[in-house]
Amino acid sequence: MAISWQMSGNDSTTGQARHRVSDGMIAEDLAARFLERQGLRVLARNYRCRGGEVDLICRERRVLVFVEVRLRRNASYGGAAASITARKQGRIVLAAQHYLTMHALGEADCRFDCILLDGLSEAAVEWLRDAFC
């Protein structure tokens, strides 16, 4: 899948930011399709609240699954898994708590998974169930 985008003038940082957003959306699409083929149902994408965010919210049978999607093109900084810091985990947990409260699901079983992509192909997908918490 090719992505085309244009940079305005010499502002390469704007173009790079736009490219990262596009790559992130492609990565989330890949992750959502992968999880759906594994039997999960995607309920929400890019859920945000004050101080928190989570990429995908899915259901696997009776379990709500909050999924962080991480893309790294190379392992220079430790690969995709290394980019999920304790602070990032906290933002995901906060968003999950908000989602559970807003949907009156306080007693629901839930878990936190990560989809790691080292590149933009389905061959590069690694699924970490119960990744944290």
| Tens digit of each residue's pLDDT (9 = 90 or more) over 98-108 | 999 999 998 89
pLDDT computed for residue 62 by the predictor? 94
DSSP bridge partners of 19: none
- Span 33-54, average pLDDT: 97
Residue 11: which pLDDT band, with cuts at 50, 70 and 90? Answer: very low
Residue spans of the domains in the chain: they are 12-128
User: For 12-128, which CATH class?
Assistant: alpha beta
Does residue 91 carry a pLDDT above 90? yes
Q: What token pair was written down for 58?
A: 């899915």
- Contact present, 68 and 131 (Cβ < 8 Å): yes
Residue 2: its pLDDT value, please?
A: 36
Percentage of residues of the chain with pLDDT beyond 90: 57
| Helix (H) or strand (E) segment spanning residue 34 | helix 12-37
Range scoring the smallest mean pLDDT among 4-8, 26-30, 34-38:
4-8
Instruction: Over range 56-68, report the average pLDDT.
Output: 97
Contact 57, 67 (CB under 8 A): yes
Segment 75-92 mean pLDDT: 76
Mean pLDDT of 111-118: 92
Mean pLDDT of the chain: 82
Distance CA 92, CA 70 (A): 13
- Which DSSP category does 74 fall into? S
Nearest to 92 by CA among 83, 122, 124: 83
